[in-house]
Structure 1
Amino acid sequence: MALYFNYNKKSKIICETISIIFLSVFAIFTLLPLYFMIVSSFGDPVEAGDATFTLFPRKFTLSSYFFFFNYSKYSYRWILNSLIVASIVTISNVIFASMAGYAFSKMKFPGRNRIFSILLFSMMVPYQVIQVPLYVLVVNTFQIPNTYLALVLPDLCTVYNIFLAKQFISTLPTAIIDSAKIDGCNQFQIFTKIILPLSKTVLSVMAILTFMGSWNSFLWPLLVTTSADMQTIQVGLTNFRFANTTYFAPMMAGATISALPMFILFFSLQKYFLQGVTIGAIKG
Structure 2
Amino acid sequence: MASGLYSQHVTTKTTLYLRTTIIILVLVTLAVCCLFPLFYMIVNSFGPAVEAASSNRSVFPTSWSLDSYKAFFSFSEYSVKWLANTFVVSACQVLGNVVFASLAGYAFAKLKFKGKNFLFNLILIGMMIPYQVTQVPLYILIVNRFHLSNSYAALVLPGLVTSYNIFLTKQFFSSIPTSLLESAKLDGCSQPKIFTHIVLPLSKTILAVLSINTFLSSWNNFFWPFLVTSKEAMYTIQVGLKQFKFANTTLFGPMMAGATISALPMFILFFCLQKYFLEGVTVGAVKG
TM class, shorter-length: over 0.9
Q: 1:160-180, CA deviations, whole angstroms, 9 ceiling, x for partnerless residues?
A: 000111111111111211111
Q: 1:199/1:83 Cα in 2 relative to 1: closer, same or farther (>3 Å)?
A: same
Q: 2:226 aligns with which of 222, 241, 245?
A: 222
Q: Could you tell me the TM-score, scaled by structure 1's length?
A: 0.95
Q: 1:52 aligns with which of 51, 57, 76?
A: 57
Q: 2:207 aligns with which of 203, 210, 224?
A: 203
- The range that moved more, 43-52 or 172-181, is 43-52
Matches of 2:94 and 2:137, distance apart in 1: 24
Q: Counterparts of 1:129-140 in structure 2 under 5 Å?
A: 129-140=133-144
Matches of 2:174 and 2:146, distance apart in 1: 37
Matches of 1:52 and 1:129, distance apart in 2: 36
Count of residues paired in the alignment: 283
Larger radius of gyration: 2
Q: 1:245-276, CA deviations, whole angstroms, 9 ceiling, x for partnerless residues?
A: 21011001000000011111111111000001
Matches of 2:153 and 2:91, distance apart in 1: 13
2:107 matched residue in structure 1: 103
1:189 matched residue in structure 2: 193
Q: What letter is aligned with 1:53? A: S
Q: What letter is aligned with 1:67? A: A
Q: 1:103-147, CA deviations, whole angstroms, 9 ceiling, x for partnerless residues?
A: 111111111111101110111111111111111101111111110
Matches of 2:58 and 2:209, distance apart in 1: 35
Q: 1:69 aligns with which of 69, 73, 95?
A: 73
Is contact 1:104–1:112 with CA below 8 Å preserved after alignment?
A: yes
* 1:268 is the counterpart of 2:272: yes
Q: What letter is aligned with 2:106? A: Y
Q: 1:7/1:280 Cα in 2 relative to 1: closer, same or farther (>3 Å)?
A: farther
- The range that moved more, 178-187 or 29-38, is 178-187
Deviation at 1:7, TM superposition (A): 4.0
Q: Aligned Cα RMSD in Å?
A: 1.5
- The range that moved more, 171-180 or 42-51, is 42-51
Q: Secondary structure at the match of 1:144?
A: coil
Q: What letter is aligned with 2:91? A: S
Deviation at 1:214, TM superposition (A): 0.4
Deviation at 1:158, TM superposition (A): 0.2
Flag structure 1 segments of 5+ consecutive residues without an equivalent.
none
Flag structure 2 segments of 5+ consecutive residues without an equivalent.
none
Matches of 2:262 and 2:113, distance apart in 1: 44
Matches of 1:86 and 1:254, distance apart in 2: 18
Q: Secondary structure at the match of 2:104?
A: helix
2:16 matched residue in structure 1: 12
1:120 matched residue in structure 2: 124
Is contact 1:36–1:53 with CA below 8 Å preserved after alignment?
A: no
Matches of 1:199 and 1:173, distance apart in 2: 13
Matches of 1:170 and 1:4, distance apart in 2: 52
Q: 1:99/1:249 Cα in 2 relative to 1: closer, same or farther (>3 Å)?
A: same
Question: Taking every aligned residue pair, what percent have the same amino acid on both sides?
Answer: 56
Q: Secondary structure at the match of 2:250?
A: coil
Matches of 1:116 and 1:100, distance apart in 2: 10
Q: 1:34 aligns with which of 35, 38, 42?
A: 38
Q: Could you tell me the TM-score, scaled by structure 2's length?
A: 0.94
Matches of 1:223 and 1:101, distance apart in 2: 30
